[in-house]
Amino acid sequence: MLRLYCGTGRMPVIQITLLKGRTLEQKRKVAARVTDALVEEAGANRAAVTVTFVEVTKEEYASGGVLLADKQ
């Protein structure tokens, strides 16, 4: 019954790819607000919202064809 409840909700999965270096507090707040947005705007079941952070280094991230490690 518990499981059924948990499992039947609508279940957004949010993957956030960002640069390493955010604090625990920053991730805490991002996770909370992103979840709020899905719950309040898209009718998601709060318990079922999953957020994962994929943290990359400046050597693992490029924009405009240039690694961040090579900028400035």
Residues of span 23-52 touching a copy of itself by CB under 8 A: 24, 26-39, 41-44, 46-52
At its nearest, how many Å lie between a copy of itself and the CB of residue 25? 9
Residue 23: Cβ within 10 Å count: 8
Residue 49: Cβ within 10 Å count: 21
Contacts of residue 38, Cβ cutoff 8 Å, sequence gap at least 6:
12, 14, 44, 49
At its nearest, how many Å lie between a copy of itself and the CB of residue 20? 10
- State yes or no: is 69 an active-site residue: no
Given the rule CB under 8 A, which residues bind a copy of itself? 2-19, 22, 24, 26-39, 41-44, 46-56, 59-72
